Amino acid sequence: MFVANPKILQRLAAKIQRVLVVDPNAATVRLIADQLRHVGAVQMFNTATIEKGYALANAVEPQLIFVESAAGGADGVALARKLRRSELGCREAPIIMCTADAKAETIFGARDAGVHEFMRKPFTMGDLERRLEAVILKPRPWIEAIHYVGPDRRRFNSADYTGPRKRKADTAVSPAARLAQALRIVRSAASALDTDPAQARRALAAQALELKKIGTLLKEPRLTLAAQALDGCVRGEMAGPTARADLVRRMDALMGFMPPDDERAA
């Protein structure tokens, strides 16, 4: 029989007060509610459809969200993607998908939509505690790009694996690699200014902050200044041809810092 770790539960209780469950299966909603009682005084909100789920997310700003993959109107993949690309205060809240459909395409679809963790039905308190520990106490870096918004996908479903990590992706990312990734996102954002301006702006703002940090790490003041200029431009109104032209100039200036290997690979 699983015995919950009281220290972990105490740490979780301090970070989870409002939980949203979007699932048409009443038994699953009851199971999650019953098991979360071990965590503490959690306020639960539940609904059966993604439309009502999105409205509830906007109203209550949950700190944790549970979704079904695609059953009875509760398309968790669609909801996750919509939340991640929204302006809601809970857009970065951890999302755990609970479903009996554990096929590879379902798991990878959830990951690519910005879901944090995947949990197969039926699940136990032990399964839930591991997922909660992974998403609440061991948060992953947030990726704000154009084609993907959500937690770093290299750590997806980490709660199922307890052995040593041997992939290159599991080691610390070097400043040079971070620089190349940030600049690739800037380049993608430039091409999305007309097709997805809201996400392009969010992506540029996030990468401006990242590039300022990298400039400090690399002791490259020119990079830091170029990133600060982009940050100031993105935080402006960004309206009209003059503002757009200025934004494009800021992005072009940053492209000069792209490592040669990454320029050839583009």
How confident is the model over 58-99, as pLDDT tens digits? 999 999 999 998 766 679 999 999 999 999 999 999 999 998
CA 88 distance to own-chain centroid:
13
How high is the pLDDT of residue 78? Answer: 94
Q: Is 223 exposed, middle or buried (0-12, 13-18, 19+ CB in 10 A)?
A: buried
Q: What's the predicted TM-score (pTM) here?
A: 0.86
Q: According to the model, what pLDDT value does residue 169 have?
A: 47
Return the structure tokens found at 103.
């096929």
Does the structure show a pLDDT above 50 at 266?
A: no
Residue 8 has pLDDT above 90, yes or no: no
pLDDT band at 100 (very low <50, low <70, confident <90, very high): confident
Q: Where are the domains of the chain?
A: 6-148, 175-265
Give the type of residue at 82.
K
Mean pLDDT computed over every residue of the chain: 87
Mean pLDDT confidence for 179-194: 94
Report how far residue 59's alpha carbon sits from residue 67's, in angstroms, rounded to the nearest whole number. 17
Q: Phi first, then psi: what are they for 21, rounded to 5°? A: -120, 120
Q: Are 151 and 143 in contact (CB under 8 A)?
A: yes
Question: For the chain, what percent of residues have pLDDT higher than 90?
Answer: 65
Residue whose C-alpha is closest to residue 63's, from 132, 120, 4: 132
Structure confidence by residue, pLDDT tens digits, 16-66:
999 999 999 999 999 999 989 888 889 999 999 999 999 999 999 999 999
**Band (5; pLDDT cuts 50, 70, 90):** confident
Element (DSSP H or E) covering residue 54: helix 50-60
CB-based burial, 189-210: b 16+ in 10 Å, e otherwise: bbebbeebeebbbbbbbbbbbb
Domain formed by 6-148, architecture: 3-Layer(aba) Sandwich (3.40)
Across the range 156-177, mean pLDDT stands at: 60
Dump pLDDT digits (tens) for 195-247: 999 999 999 999 999 999 999 999 999 999 999 999 999 887 555 667 888 99
Has residue 159 got a pLDDT over 80? no
Confidence of residue 257 (pLDDT cuts 50, 70, 90): very high
- Residue 148: pLDDT above 70? yes
Task: Tell me what pLDDT residue 1 has.
Answer: 41
pLDDT for the residue numbered 161: 47
Residue 238, phi-psi category: left (phi > 0), alpha (psi -120 to 50), beta (remainder): left
Average pLDDT over residues 161-187: 74
